[in-house]
Amino acid sequence: MTVSECINWLVEYGMKTGLVNGEDKIYTTNRIMEALRLDAIEEGAGDIPIERERLDDVLGIILENAIKTGIIEDGITERDLFDTKIMGLLTPMPSTVIAKFNELKAKDTKAATDYFYKLSGDCNYIRTNRVKKDMKWKTASIYGDIDITINLSKPEKDPRAIAAAKLMKQSGYPACQLCFENEGYAGRTNHPARQNLRIIPITMNNEDWGFQYSPYVYYNEHCIILNRKHTPMKIDRATFVKLLDFVEQFPHYILGSNADLPIVGGSILTHDHFQGGNYEFAMARAEIEKELHFKDFDDVEAGIVKWPMSVIRLTCADKSRLIELADMILKNWRVYTDEKAFVFAETDGEKHNTITPIARMKEGRFQLDLVLRNNITTKEHPLGVYHPHSELHHIKKENIGLIEVMGCAILPARLKKELAEIKEILISGKEIEEDSPLYQHAPWVKEIREKYDIFNEENTSKIIRDEVGKVFVKVLEDAGVYKYNEEGRKAFMRFIESVK
């Protein structure tokens, strides 16, 4: 395809998907021409079908032309910045998107989110073709089927861009990647372009928040709800109000929050935000293993969830009652110490106890899952006692945040190559050399060999996937404050009995 054909294809694609109004065809064409420094183009859109799956092919031709003509340099970061700029020219103005969303929401909330989710994919903010590269499977466990994902959708770090970023003057705008100021931002070497990002204003607890989707969609309709103000994460009574306000407005979605302390929190603690979506995680399907009763809260169903982490589930038709009880549990947990169970609320002035909360609607009633977290460290476990222990770091070393707490592993991209090489080693019967990057997996590979008799092309991939899943279940068990055994459950009940 010629560059002219690519431009015409993009405009036709924009009109077909609803990004571009027919009356804006010439205007949009001229904007793209300007970005490509063209004075004129020829007619015709080539012979590539106008469909979402072919968008990257067309953008790829445009990028090659931009590199050839000196508009951009050749590099992963430069390419992402420029193709986002091009797609931003197809994306409707924020006011148009907001008006359409609110018009649909007044009649049907799901229709509104369906529209917004489709738009976020059509404009390539959600890079669907990259997300499809993620490796995903389910692993059976005593807690239910756990989701496993090897994340391949985040762009690689370009060494040249990394070097250039070190030389750049540091900018405080936007203050972080979750700020409203990202909407329409051109980006730079050390900050992604966001010309195709759109944010829907919503209200929770009488505060201004924004609704957007994650560009990496780890699960169906993975959304991010962000505070209009750049303010730190904080778990308190107001958190429960906001979560329940949201699921009342969007009953087909869940919403949860990362914890507000390092190690047990998410990757961004400096900007208050939540994550949710239209997906049922394994934790939501997990059953109640023990019913609980809290004094003066007979109207609230409560119980300990059969889950590797320590989860209290509360269900009630009256959200104000859930908020009151959840706040009472949080306040008690913040100051709770049980030396016998190695739970310390504070050491050397550093606070350790917090909660990862998740809200949903369940059969017309409000439901909150409160996951007890503690970020204490020791010499033996410098990254955290309730964090994946060192023998599991060959699979998962990073913090266990909200998504993983709910039963969806997000594993590093390096595993795609490493697991493929491990497959060949298992089939061939070879040993892993000590100087090999795979040597960190050697004890695990030895365990796998001892468990199975035969390794061949037909069965080894499944064996490896099952064993990766089992490692992730151990990761969640390490992250659980109270272990899923008799001693752990007795300690859990000591805390429950202390709540008042």
Mean pLDDT of 303-321: 98
Compute and round to an integer the Cα radius of gyration of the chain: 25
Residue owning tokens 């293993």: 289
**Angle separating helix axes 319-334 and 237-249, nearest 10 degrees:** 150
Asked whether the predicted pLDDT for residue 326 surpasses 80, the reply is yes
**At a CB cut-off of 8 Å and minimum separation 6, what does 334 contact?**
345, 351, 353, 354
Residue owning tokens 């503690």: 374
pLDDT attached to residue 45: 79
Provide the percentage of residues in the chain whose pLDDT is more than 70. Answer: 96
Backbone φ/ψ region at 342: left (φ over 0), alpha (ψ -120 to 50), beta: left
Q: Is 178 helix (H, G, I), strand (E, B) or coil?
A: coil
Asked whether the predicted pLDDT for residue 50 surpasses 80, the reply is yes
Asked whether the predicted pLDDT for residue 165 surpasses 50, the reply is no
Provide the percentage of residues in the chain whose pLDDT is more than 90. Answer: 91
pLDDT attached to residue 249: 97
User: Is the distance from CB of 191 to CB of 212 less than 8 angstroms?
Assistant: no
The CA distance from 462 to 427, in Å, is 13
Taking alpha carbons only, the member of 163, 42, 52 closest to residue 118 is 52
The CA distance from 72 to 66, in Å, is 6
DSSP 392: G
The CA distance from 134 to 215, in Å, is 13
Note the helical H segments in 39-127.
55-68, 76-88, 94-105, 109-122
pLDDT digits (tens, 9 = 90+) for 258-288: 999 999 987 788 999 999 999 999 999 999 9
Query: In sequence order, what DSSP letters do the residues of 321-361 get, joined into one string?
Result: HHHHHHHHHHHHHHT--BGGGTB-SEETTEE-EEEEEEEEE
**At a CB cut-off of 8 Å and minimum separation 6, what does 303 contact?**
288, 289, 290, 291, 292, 312, 313
pLDDT attached to residue 162: 45
Give 129 or 208, the one with higher predicted confidence: 208
First-to-final CA distance of the chain: 70
Q: Is 467 helix (H, G, I), strand (E, B) or coil?
A: helix
The CA distance from 274 to 406, in Å, is 14
pLDDT digits (tens, 9 = 90+) for 227-265: 999 999 999 999 999 999 999 999 999 999 999 999 998
Residue owning tokens 């969806």: 408
Residue 15 token pair: 């009109």
pLDDT attached to residue 486: 96
pLDDT attached to residue 170: 61
pLDDT digits (tens, 9 = 90+) for 66-111: 999 999 999 999 999 999 999 999 999 999 999 999 999 999 999 9
Mean pLDDT of 129-145: 94
